[in-house]
Amino acid sequence: MNHELLLGWWDTAARDLPWRRPDCTAWGVLISEIMLQQTPVSRVGPIWHEWLARWPVPSAMAASSQGEVLRMWGKLGYPRRAMRLHEAATAIARDHGDVVPSDIETLESLPGIGSYTARAVATFAYGQKCAVVDTNVRRVVARAVHGAGDAGPPSTKRDLRDVEAILPEGQEDAAVFSAALMELGALICTAKNQKCADCPLFAECAWQLAGRPAYAGPEKKVQKFAGTDRQVRGRLLDVLRGAPGPVPKMQLDVVWSDAMQREKCLVSLLSDGLVEQSHDGLFHLPGEGIVERSNDSLSPLSNEGIVEPSDGSLFPLPNERIVERSNDGLFPVPGERIVEQSDKGTS
């Protein structure tokens, strides 16, 4: 692959995205990479700016409740990503001096950080030479190098090997090349309606030279959204994000008519830690209510797999933590510290 052609195209065609600017920190890059997974750039941009303004360093996010982070996540979808970011921020602040690690192995040791995210941060934040493979990159390599219409099912080892084989020798060029390869797949070498005439690799593209053969591999499943558990979970979370405080179950019941599916989704949100239930039966985002319940009030699972309240009013919280009263009579919110005051009344 002609590196100069792709790098020259990048210089003139790359989008000016805030997480690509020289003044963006590694923390900003990490947030962008988590947000951009399964969410378009146009939706990520505004939320990314809000997050960096509110939490400019990992320790700032670590000091916030998980509920606050979920609320700020808004409608980006797949909210467990927000929880993973909060967990990663806590680990970075506690174990790494509030600085995002630069090596792949340490990055992968952070909660919720997988191989792709670790490689992306190492490359785009620290300029390291390593293969970064997403759907766009796989498509470009499949066409330009292998002459196939699409990449087919992913294979981590094969995909990394393919990209490593075409990286430039120099570390700086390799980091920019990785970004350019990804950008080419996002803007030009798209899954449909390719802009081949505008592609810098047009003259040497193996797919073009082969006559643009149609993809002959297994069909990709199209993910639907309407009527799925994802939609129901999203609506339940929308209620809690928009509420000033904990809400009664009847307020959640109105968001979806299928009671069986709605209850199943509520239980899954409780199990995932995305929703919590207080001792008085109200529901809230994690860290935004106090749970105080004796062990004998927990409910068993029913034969149908739906949680049945023991007293007809409460859903048990999976992996529930009983909060103990501190010496000064306060109940700390999970993840928060109680600051002891000195005799002079200052803390």
Catalytic residues: 33
What are the backbone dihedrals phi and psi of residue 270, each rounded to the nearest 5 degrees, phi first?
-65, -45
Q: What are the residues facing 277 on neighbouring strands?
A: 283
Provide Rg for the chain, Cα atoms. Answer: 24
Q: What are the residues facing 89 on neighbouring strands?
A: none
At 175, list the tokens. 């980091």
Distance between CA atoms of 240 and 276, rounded to whole angstroms?
Answer: 10
**What letter represents residue 321's amino acid?**
R
**118, 94 in Cβ contact below 8 A?**
no
What are the backbone dihedrals phi and psi of residue 227, each rounded to the nearest 5 degrees, phi first?
85, 0
Distance between CA atoms of 175 and 64, rounded to whole angstroms?
Answer: 33
At 56, list the tokens. 């400019």
Q: CB atoms < 10 A from the CB of 173, how many?
A: 16
CA distances from 53 to 25, 47, 57, 150, 342 (A): 13, 10, 10, 39, 33
